């Protein structure tokens, strides 16, 4: 059974591949297929975007696919950047410029008001038809400065609850034990392993 991970984000892909281990599937990324569609992420929710990516890619490739849409919701910003996490600082946004904007908007905001939640939605589709959706959350707070070198995106500014280190300081293997993505993929793996066509 072949499974395509429908993402163009290499950092996410790396985490997803590790987290899918143990599942009886051969994992491919979009890099293995020429001309896979560039899905426009115009949904209002992470779920809408994840479902759209999984359906379009699995339909085009006529394969089994999983898509990840994820984002960081910050209480003080009324849930922003949320679904806009990738392009928070506008056109040409980078991880660095997004973190810089976030820290600027939270400048002088006390620790008690820096609560945030990482969310990840994994959609699973087979040849254009949705098979299941799984969600994972990781609560924490936004630090006062960027710290740490591992991971990607908002990892250097996100401190998960019960820890005093950012995701980027703790390293990917520890992050993968508690992250939004690991929780969502644990549920997704259960759905995939029960999916009948796996055994056809
Ligand atoms: P694909 O749509 O191709 O999968 P993308 O980067 O556009 O890639 P999203 O639309 O889901 O993906 O955007 C998610 C953004 O949220 C991502 O670019 C990061 O900035 C951030 N993000 C998601 N998961 C993260 C994590 O585990 N750690 C840090 N930042 C994360």
Residue ranges for the chain with pLDDT beneath 50: 199-200
| Closest ligand 1 atom, residue 179 Cα | 27
**Run of H or E residues at 140:** strand 129-142
Specify whether the backbone of 25 is left (phi greater than 0), alpha (psi in -120 to 50) or beta.
beta
Probe target for ligand 1 pocket from 16, 86, 93, with the most ligand atoms within 8 Å of CB: 86
Q: What is the pLDDT of residues 141-162, one digit of tens each?
A: 999 999 999 999 999 999 999 9
Cα 97 to Cα 90: distance, rounded to the nearest angstrom: 9
Q: What is the pLDDT of residues 90-123, one digit of tens each?
A: 999 999 999 999 999 999 999 999 999 999 999 9
Nearby residues of 114 by Cβ (< 8 Å), 6 or more positions away: 74, 75, 76, 106, 141, 142, 143
pTM for this predicted structure: 0.96
- From ligand 1's centre to the CA of 12, what distance in Å? 7
Nearby residues of 19 by Cβ (< 8 Å), 6 or more positions away: 176, 181, 182, 185, 186
Distant-in-sequence contacts of 146-151, Cβ < 8 A, 24+ apart:
146/99, 146/103, 150/175, 151/11, 151/175
Per-residue confidence (pLDDT) for residue 200, from 0 to 100? 46
């Amino acid at each position: 059974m072949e499974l395509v991970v429908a993402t163009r984000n290499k950092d996410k892909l790396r985490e997803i591949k590790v987290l899918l281990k143990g599942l009886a599937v051969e994992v491919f990324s979009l890099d293995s297929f020429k001309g896979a569609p560039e899905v426009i992420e115009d949904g209002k929710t992470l779920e809408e975007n994840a479902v759209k990516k999984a359906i379009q890619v699995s339909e085009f490739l006529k394969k089994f696919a999983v898509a990840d849409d994820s984002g960081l919701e910050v209480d003080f910003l009324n849930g922003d950047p949320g679904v806009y996490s990738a392009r928070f600082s506008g056109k040409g946004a980078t991880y660095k410029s997004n973190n810089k904007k976030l820290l600027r908007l939270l400048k002088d905001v006390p620790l008690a008001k820096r609560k945030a939640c990482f969310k990840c939605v994994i959609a699973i589709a087979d040849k254009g038809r949705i098979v299941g959706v799984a969600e994972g959350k990781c609560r924490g707070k936004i630090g006062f400065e960027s710290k740490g070198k591992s991971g990607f995106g908002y990892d250097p500014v996100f401190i998960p609850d019960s820890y005093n280190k950012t995701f980027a300081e703790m390293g990917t293997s520890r992050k993968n034990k508690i992250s939004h993505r690991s929780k969502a993929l644990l549920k997704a793996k259960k759905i995939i392993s029960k999916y009948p066509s796996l055994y056809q």
